[in-house]
Structure 1
Amino acid sequence: MRHSLIGIAVATAALAVAGVAAHQPAAKNAAIDAAVAAPTRSPANTARDQYRHPAETLAFFGVKPGDTVVEIWPGGGWYTEILAPLTRGKGTLYAAVPNNGSKGVDALKAKQPALYGPIRVVSFPAAQGQAKVPDGTADVVLTFRNVHNWRMGYQRDGEDYSAEAFKQMYAMLKKGGTLGIEDHRLPENASAERETSSGYIKVSTVRRLAEAAGFQFVGASEVNANKADTADWPNGVWTLPPTYALKDQDRAKYAAIGESDRMTLKFRKP
């Protein structure tokens, strides 16, 4: 009986340690650090590293230079400026863009074709016949501040297509592949209706969507947390920088708060 109790205690302690470890930022990575420091990044983008912590975020997700990486909805190309030099000559980078394309990626490819030209542009969510990431080929799928867009029906006339988006991300990953998600975090005790209007989304909602698609939750990092963000602003998350939806109204106040409080979640395709 005594040996059984000792075994239970050891197992419990091991689980506790594993749980703590899963919630810690990953160690520094030289290849990622070099990509973050790449001189090809725009000064306006590097100025936002203080809020977005790209080196720590990508290290937490375990991105490697030789990976096939998919960036879902790269927008203006903020992370693309880091992922392109990181994977150049070693891995493959897909830019999975909405049906109306991505002016940010197009501009990067036109400006510096040697660096950004190899990026493979596909559609997401991909309809029948559209170019897409081939099933079972990606090592890592990353999306930054986009799950709330799918939940709000952005690009789909208000239709929530987040479940469909997660199914397509699951399909494109290899077995054992990683899904990395960062998004504006809505407190768990907030009204569910706020997910369709504020730009914030609950961690529990993201986990539910991911796990329903077949993903296993690996862990979370607080590297992009911001305790000063109360997530209850008059114009939603867009009240804060970099959007400043209220323009000059209380601008200094919102600048002092900084960018939003964000979840950083890691999932695995079993």
Structure 2
Amino acid sequence: MTRLALVIAAGLSAATAAYAAPDPAPSAALVAATKAGTRTPATIARDAFRHPAQTLAFFGVKPGDTVVEIWPSGGWYTEILAPYLAARGTLYAAAPSEKGLAAVRAKRQAMPEAYRALRYAMFPAVAGQPTVPAGSADVVLTFRNVHNWRFGAADQTQAAFDQMFAMLKPGGTLGLVEHHLPEASGKIEEGKSGYMKRSSVIAYATKAGFKLAGESAVNANPKDTHDYPKGVWTLPPNYAEGDVGRARYAAIGESDRMTLKFVKPR
């Protein structure tokens, strides 16, 4: 067995043990952020599937932290993180292009006080673009993005993990939520299906230098069968098949997700 395989195997054993420990309870401040006026009815409707307060508590996000949200897209988590960090923290929205920042820029324009902690960066960045300073972040968060890096014009997955590692202070946390593909998945393709295997994610993180620190089942969904005509997007909230099978997919709910916490060694 190679050294990398041994490290990954050790990480998998550690994560199994971590399942036995109860997740930390969300603080009052974190719960209040999920009820903030920055949120819209459409985002609140997804709380039952995404468990934002419990997820952020598991990742250990504190009000005074410097936090990087990778590829915030429509800003689902930004609506919670911005008010939570507004008084003492810093929140970087890191997107692949200016278009990817449009939604969070609009939110800041509409509610400047609630979003006063917000900064902008490119990820991945090229020379001359705003970046997250190396070694400056306490926490980097990425929600349902790994499959996008894996299946695109070019595989950017390892480069993404390497850059997230560089952003973090020693001892900092990478909090990751991703659509979970069982290890024995047959012909279902990683990335293309929208799902990723847990072992693959751990391998990318380990190669970048991270150590697996824990795992939560808070976003797991045993109803998810993972084998849909149009991948994970068949499930809500996308309903990629339109009205075909909609009641069945609504009953399943959102995807089965792994919630992994990694640390950058001190």
TM-score of the pair, normalised by structure 2: 0.90
- 1:25 aligned to 2:20? no
Give 1:105 deviation, angstroms.
0.7
CA distance in 1, matches of 2:31, 2:168: 25
- Please name the residue that 2:3 is paired with: none
- Contact in 2 for aligned 1:22/1:218 (Cα 8 Å): no
Could you give the per-residue CA deviations for residues 126-179 of structure 1, whole angstroms, max 9, x where no partner exists?
Answer: 1222110000000000000001100112xxxx2101000001000000000000
- Please name the residue that 2:230 is paired with: 235
Could you give the per-residue CA deviations for residues 13-36 of structure 1, whole angstroms, max 9, x where no partner exists?
Answer: xx99x9246753222312211111
- Please name the residue that 2:8 is paired with: none
Give 1:103 deviation, angstroms.
2.5
CA distance in 1, matches of 2:102, 2:263: 30
One-letter code aligned to 1:180: G
The alignment partner of 2:177 has SS state of: strand
Select which of 71, 78, 88 maps to 1:90.
88
One-letter code aligned to 2:208: A
What is the aligned-residue RMSD (CA, Å)?
1.9
One-letter code aligned to 2:41: P
One-letter code aligned to 1:182: V
- Please name the residue that 1:143 is paired with: 142
CA distance in 1, matches of 2:175, 2:229: 29
TM-score of the pair, normalised by structure 1: 0.89
Query: Kindly, what percent of the aligned residue pairs are identical?
Result: 60
- Please name the residue that 2:122 is paired with: 123
- 1:269 aligned to 2:264? yes
One-letter code aligned to 2:39: R
- Please name the residue that 2:38 is paired with: 40
One-letter code aligned to 2:219: N
CA distance in 2, matches of 1:189, 1:124: 32
For structure 1, the 5+ residue unaligned runs are 1-14
- 1:223 aligned to 2:221? no
The alignment partner of 2:132 has SS state of: coil
The alignment partner of 2:189 has SS state of: helix
- Please name the residue that 2:109 is paired with: 110
CA distance in 1, matches of 2:18, 2:116: 41
Give 1:94 deviation, angstroms.
0.4
Q: Say how many residue pairs are matched.
A: 252
CA distance in 1, matches of 2:83, 2:63: 9
Give 1:192 deviation, angstroms.
7.5
- Contact in 1 for aligned 2:85/2:117 (Cα 8 Å): no
Give 1:82 deviation, angstroms.
0.3
One-letter code aligned to 1:205: S
- 1:162 aligned to 2:149? no
- Contact in 1 for aligned 2:18/2:214 (Cα 8 Å): no
The alignment partner of 1:129 has SS state of: coil
- Contact in 2 for aligned 1:24/1:222 (Cα 8 Å): no
- Contact in 2 for aligned 1:25/1:222 (Cα 8 Å): no
CA distance in 1, matches of 2:188, 2:159: 20
